[in-house]
């Protein structure tokens, strides 16, 4: 680990975690990214507040950011915003990169991170491949949102008589007693993505309890996730060595889904092996400070200073 004074930011929409290597007292927590506002000033504010709270000004700021786009990945601008605090170097990366480093370190492999959304990143000897992470409208297959959307679809099919009855109906009816008006309430709610994704936990419980509809949704979600892993690995693999895979995120808290994912992933390819992560996202952000510039992941980071 670097002896430099590193400040690491693991920035997500649900929360921001900060680790200051030169400070004591553990990681700091901040509210999540506000997607309707400019990103970099929010991160610069987190840097300033962290310094105020810890009394430990950094000389390197590294950040793993959920949904980071090329338009926001301006490391030079971030350096300009924080230089007055003594920051001399900035590294920015998509959170798929830092999730990978946290889960597998700097070796080859693949990491699928599935929460409300989902993204898969594979790293080979020379290249990287990102699969999905295209958001709730265009992608995120197998994610919490995808599972919740399938649950709502199944409930309305049962309501109409177009599909089998399911225990999921009770949970949806608890939120919207008049199911015929549920779609109007949901479409008008600015928090609809989180609300839909919240039903993934309902599906997990119902699948454990033996509900056939919930079990089917879990198996199909697992297949989507396994497909993404296979697609990512196929783009970077140059030989048949064992390829470790980490599955992280709340979606994999569902035992039926994890079991189905593991079986699907291992079917027909003994060289792909599910392994436990060695760390978490903030560990991966810290690793950015010391990532070898020759490593394949260095090509997908943004640096200044």
Question: Tens digit of pLDDT for each residue in 162-191?
Answer: 999 999 999 999 999 999 999 999 999 988
Tokens linked to 235: 């783009």
Nearest to 101 by CA among 87, 88, 116, 113: 113
Indicate if 24 and 111 belong to the same structural domain.
no
Please say whether the dihedral angle defined by the alpha carbons of residues 53, 80, 297 and 261, taken in this order, is positive or negative.
positive
Domain count, the chain: 2
Between CA 68 and CA 260 the distance in angstroms is 30
Where are any strands of DSSP class E within the chain? 6-11, 16-20, 28-30, 60-65, 89-94, 109-114, 118-123, 128-131, 243-248, 272-274, 301-304
Indicate if 76 and 17 belong to the same structural domain.
yes
Indicate if 273 and 291 belong to the same structural domain.
no
Tell me the pTM: 0.87
The answer to whether residue 196 is domain-embedded is yes
The answer to whether residue 27 is domain-embedded is yes
Q: 59: burial class by Cβ within 10 Å (0-12, 13-18, 19+)?
A: middle
Indicate if 90 and 165 belong to the same structural domain.
no
Domain with 212, as residue range(s), is 107-277
Half-sphere exposure of 85 (CA within 13 A, CB side): 27
The answer to whether residue 61 is domain-embedded is yes
Indicate if 121 and 258 belong to the same structural domain.
yes
Indicate if 199 and 148 belong to the same structural domain.
yes
The CATH number given to whatever domain includes residue 238 is 3.30.420.40
The answer to whether residue 1 is domain-embedded is no
Which whole-number Å values give the CA distances from 78 to 90, 112, 286, in the listed order?
A: 7, 28, 17
pLDDT value of residue 62:
97
Indicate if 158 and 231 belong to the same structural domain.
yes
pLDDT value of residue 239:
80
CB 118 within 8 Å of CB 225: yes
Where are any strands of DSSP class E within 124-217? 128-131
pLDDT value of residue 249:
92
CB 253 within 8 Å of CB 71: no
The answer to whether residue 220 is domain-embedded is yes
The answer to whether residue 170 is domain-embedded is yes
Indicate if 191 and 269 belong to the same structural domain.
yes
Indicate if 261 and 299 belong to the same structural domain.
no
Tokens linked to 135: 């958001």
Indicate if 169 and 244 belong to the same structural domain.
yes
Residues of the chain falling short of pLDDT 50: 1-2
pLDDT value of residue 71:
86
Kind of pairing between the strands at 89-94 and 60-65:
parallel
Neighbours of 180 (CB within 10 A): 9
Indicate if 53 and 95 belong to the same structural domain.
yes
pLDDT value of residue 1:
42
Indicate if 93 and 223 belong to the same structural domain.
no
């Amino acid at each position: 680990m670097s002896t430099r004074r590193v400040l690491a930011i693991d920035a997500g929409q649900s929360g921001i975690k900060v680790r200051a290597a030169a400070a004591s007292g553990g990681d700091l927590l901040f509210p999540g990214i506000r997607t309707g506002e400019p990103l970099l000033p929010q991160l610069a504010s987190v840097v300033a507040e962290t310094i105020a709270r810890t009394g430990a000004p950094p000389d390197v700021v590294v950040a793993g950011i959920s949904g980071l786009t090329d338009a926001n990945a301006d490391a030079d601008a971030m350096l300009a915003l924080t230089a007055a605090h003594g920051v001399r170097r900035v590294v920015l990366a998509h959170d798929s990169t830092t999730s990978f480093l946290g889960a597998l370190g700097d070796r080859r492999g693949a990491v699928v991170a599935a929460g409300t959304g989902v993204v898969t990143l594979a790293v080979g000897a020379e290249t990287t491949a990102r699969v999905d992470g295209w958001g709730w409208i265009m992608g995120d297959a197998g994610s919490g949102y995808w599972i919740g959307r399938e649950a709502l679809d199944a409930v309305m099919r049962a309501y109409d008589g177009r599909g089998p009855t399911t225990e999921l109906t009770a949970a949806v009816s608890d939120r919207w007693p008049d199911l015929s008006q549920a779609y109007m309430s949901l479409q008008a709610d600015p928090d609809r993505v989180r609300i839909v994704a919240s039903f993934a936990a309902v599906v997990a419980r119902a699948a454990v309890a033996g509900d056939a509809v919930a079990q089917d949704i879990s198996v199909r979600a697992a297949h989507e996730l396994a497909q993404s892993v296979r697609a990512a690995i196929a783009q970077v693999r140059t030989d048949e060595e064992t390829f470790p895979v980490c599955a992280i995120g709340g979606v994999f808290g569902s035992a039926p889904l994890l079991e189905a994912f593991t079986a699907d992933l291992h079917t027909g390819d003994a060289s792909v092996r599910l392994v436990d992560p060695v760390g978490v996202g903030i560990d991966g952000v810290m690793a950015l400070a010391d990532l070898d510039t020759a490593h394949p992941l260095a090509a997908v980071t943004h640096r200044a200073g």
